[in-house]
């Protein structure tokens, strides 16, 4: 297990992590995802200002909109 290996690392200090804040970013809700999916179907490659507007309206960060964007999906 990964945590077992951390204890074997001589330079690793688990106590150093205790005070760190963890920024956990929740996923888009189904409703937010559905709205973005609908908008991306209408306009497959919206510009940055449009994406910023989507983010503002949905109350999410721009990176969430970019992750949902079809152009961010690599095949």
For the chain, what are the domain ranges? 22-75
- Range with the poorest average pLDDT among 20-29, 35-44, 46-55, 59-68: 20-29
| pLDDT(20) > 70 | no
Quickly count: other Cβ atoms within 10 Å of residue 64's Cβ. 21
This prediction has a pTM of 0.58
9 class by beta-carbon count within 10 Å (0-12 exposed, 13-18 middle, 19+ buried):
exposed
Average confidence score pLDDT of the chain:
76
Look at the domain 22-75 and name its fold. Arc Repressor Mutant, subunit A (1.10.10)
Identify the residue with better confidence: 35 or 24: 35
């Amino acid at each position: 297990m990964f945590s077992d290996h951390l204890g074997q690392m001589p330079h690793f200090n688990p106590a150093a992590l205790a005070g760190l804040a963890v920024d956990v970013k929740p996923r888009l809700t189904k409703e937010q995802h559905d709205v973005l999916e609908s908008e991306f179907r209408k306009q497959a490659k919206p510009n940055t200002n449009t994406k910023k507007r989507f983010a503002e309206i949905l109350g999410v960060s721009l990176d969430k909109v970019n992750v949902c964007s079809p152009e961010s999906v690599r095949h």
